[in-house]
Amino acid sequence: MITGKNCIAGDFSAKGSVVFKTTNPKLNIENPTAFVEATKEEIEEAVSSAWSAFKIFRNVPGKQRAAFLNAIADEILALDQELVDMYVTESGLPEGRAKGERGRTMGQLRSFAELVSNDHWRENTFDAAQPDRKPLPKDDLRKTMIPLGPVAVFGASNFPLAYSTAGGDTASALAAGCPVIVKSHPMHAGTSELVASAIVRAAGKTGMPKGVFSSINGGIQAGVDLVNHPKIKAVGFTGSITGGRALFDLAAKREEPIPVFAEMGSINPVIITPSAIAKRGNEIAKTYAGSITLGTGQFCTNPGLLLTIKDENTQDFVNELAKETIALDPQCMLHPNIKSGYEKKGGDVTSQLGVEVVGKVEGDLEPNYAASVVATVSGTEFLANPKLHQEVFGPFSMVVQCKDEAALLQIIEGLEGQLTGTLIAEENDSLDLVEIVDALENRVGRIIYNGVPTGVEVCPSMQHGGPYPASTDSRFTAVGTHAIKRWVRPVSYQSFPKNLLPDHLNG
């Protein structure tokens, strides 16, 4: 049963007087539960409890942390239809998406459980002492990774489960030995409370210290108070460039600056060669229509920018892409504010000089349903107008028609940092594919060949991050087991007696 309360160190609390409600975007009505925003006192209690828990949790053996993570997955599954129904009610997404995302969330938790069941992830190194080395002796040195401390995680709007309360940031931080305080996303506070209750039950069943997890409700001020707290040692965020950059700047201004690992905006350029269009243009158009509209375009990897070199086949391809895209049924967006943002940003882009709207869903739509849009512009106009480079969060994509390969490369090299870049090409393509790949490597975190960017596999080889503003630190991934590296730091032990070394360095 949903209470609307904050989860503070395992107990549910509602000391504040400010409340809000979530929205059912399909019905365009408020949901009944009033959620109470956390007070400064509750945030202080959550962080202080997390700091106390950290002193214990950081030394909990990996196998016990693995049991905790597996128990969270079990408890999430035990929520069964109650969680699915709440997810659908608050997001407007279909039940199949809810179950798929639940499976992904559980898979992430179990993958981190497997990772920390042994200490290989710590990347321990050992350099034996050489007391007789000339001209100077060498001391024994051993290096390992240790957790940073309590982590603040901000739930994402577009993934109520997989990037939220028990999502990848939380799973990887707990795996590393860091207590977590989640600021739930106001759009799916009910979903967050259910998942928080699952984490609390799992912590109790596996004997984790009180304060290892908390979840708070609130808006901007609650987030500011959380990040400013001196006992918070890192931040995880998935969302807009505006929100991520605000947190990054806030953390940098602290007396003790802390890292913010923010995964932010991306238009995910797709380079389609003329040879590929000539050989299989209709097939590519159909595939990309599905990718552009998948999840109503509300993915950080949505292909918002298609680049090609103009020739006699280009316009036919653009027309086919538009036809295939608008033929797909409009879908509900996550929230009225996201719908209005989509329309505003889409309108800003399509009103720019030289932009032609080739296809747009017309007619009356339900209140929060999105009209898919395919637009096109010349490479010259795109290069000259930075407003065309902005992300339109929703089922929108722009085809840029370049005059030649040099212009294509100039556009790639001039883009802001991106999560993904895709190359659609033929085996013996007329373009210099090596040069294109080289250009993409400097702009993106993941390069796809003859595929679509939507769909992010959770595995060690996945890189979900990229140069700014795709993320605040391109050296780390937000997806896959290497995400644990965000929440740890290296420590060397020099000439230490074995009884004082961590167990995993007693090799």
Backbone φ and ψ of 243, nearest 5°: -70, -45
Q: Which of 42, 75, 90, 263 is catalytic?
A: 263
CB 83 within 8 A of CB 188: no
Is 402 an active-site residue?
Answer: no
The token pair at 274 is 């003329």
Look-up: residue for tokens 């993915």? 299
Among the listed residues 169, 191, 178, 113, the one whose alpha carbon sits nearest the alpha carbon of residue 146: 178
Would you list the DSSP string of 414-434? HSPPEEEEEEE--TT-SS-HH
Cβ contacts of 436-439, under 8 Å, gap ≥ 24: 436/271, 436/408, 436/409, 436/412, 439/409, 439/412, 439/413
Backbone φ and ψ of 139, nearest 5°: -80, 160
The token pair at 217 is 């409700």
Is 300 an active-site residue?
Answer: yes
Look-up: residue for tokens 């987030």? 223
Burial status of residue 17 (CB atoms within 10 A of its CB: 0-12, 13-18, 19 or more): exposed
Q: What angle do CA 274, 379, 362 make, to 5 degrees?
A: 85
Q: Is the dihedral of CA 391, 392, 397, 398 positive or negative?
A: negative
Give the total residue count for the chain. Answer: 507
Q: What is the 3-state secondary structure (H, E, C) of 90-111?
A: HHCCCHHHHHHHHHHHHHHHHH
Q: What angle do CA 71, 234, 126 make, to 5 degrees?
A: 80
Q: Which of 7, 300, 332, 402 is catalytic?
A: 300
Instruction: State the amino acid at position 289 in one-letter form.
Output: A
Q: Which residues of 86-97 are buried (b: 16+ CB within 10 A; e: fewer)?
A: bbbbbbbbeeeb
**CA torsion 287→322→240→211, rounded to 10°?**
-40
CB 239 within 8 A of CB 469: no
Q: Would you please indicate which residues are annotated as catalytic (active-site) residues?
A: 263, 300
